[in-house]
Amino acid sequence: MKLWHCQDARSLRALWALEEMGLPYELEVMPFPPRFLHAGYLEVNPLGTVPYFVDGDHQLTESSGICHYLVERYQQYGFGVRPEEPEYGAYLNWLYHSDATLTFPQTLYLRYTQLEPDETKALVGEDYKKWYLARLRMLNARVTDHEYLVSGRFTIADIACGYALYLGENLGISEAYKAPTLAYLERLKARPGFQQAQVAQQRPLDLRQS
């Protein structure tokens, strides 16, 4: 298995899942944005985005989808939810929610306020920030009285949504998080799997293969 990654980008979802599951993988960490700063990347992944993940004949470009793939392909149901479990629907909903509902407005905020700033775009960016924060309502309500999102245990739904919270922190907008959401993010960041992923993304190339 090989993962192409940029530091703290959405590919961190996949890296965090690989570390939690203890699966062997190869990691290539590239400067961001890789389609401009990493020669030859467009030949590897024509989309030019991260993550890019290869496992045998399987090629995936969706961060939450890679987490889901790992659970199913490698029977990592300690980190997933099986269809016969009562919270299977909620589990899938959080997995899709993580990127389509949460990270989507965050990246528009990033793009319009930090990557391509001008006065008009900055206003649009601020609007997407408010939109993202408003969309945390459902997650905040859930983690107010639950340690993790589903099934009373840590799953890849926590990795997928927790990454969005972490990205918000890196974007400097986490001061607007409500107390239960902040406490949930701290719980996730305290996990050895999250910390190992942080170490892995800093390690020199020759030491990354496990």
Residues that bind ligand GSH (CB under 6 A): 9-10, 33, 35, 48-51, 62-64, 99
Separation between Cα atoms, residue 61 and residue 64, nearest integer Å: 9
CB of 34 to ligand GSH, least distance (A): 7
Separation between Cα atoms, residue 19 and residue 197, nearest integer Å: 6
Side-chain-facing half-sphere of 177: CA atoms under 13 Å:
25
Pick the closer one to ligand GSH by CB: 49 or 113: 49
CB of 116 to ligand GSH, least distance (A): 12
Separation between Cα atoms, residue 70 and residue 67, nearest integer Å: 5
Nearest residue to ligand GSH by CB is 49
Nearest CA-CA partner of 137 in 77, 94, 93, 181: 181
Name residue, tokens 């024509």: 46
CB of 70 to ligand GSH, least distance (A): 14
Pick the closer one to ligand GSH by CB: 30 or 149: 30
Pick the closer one to ligand GSH by CB: 45 or 155: 45
Pick the closer one to ligand GSH by CB: 50 or 149: 50
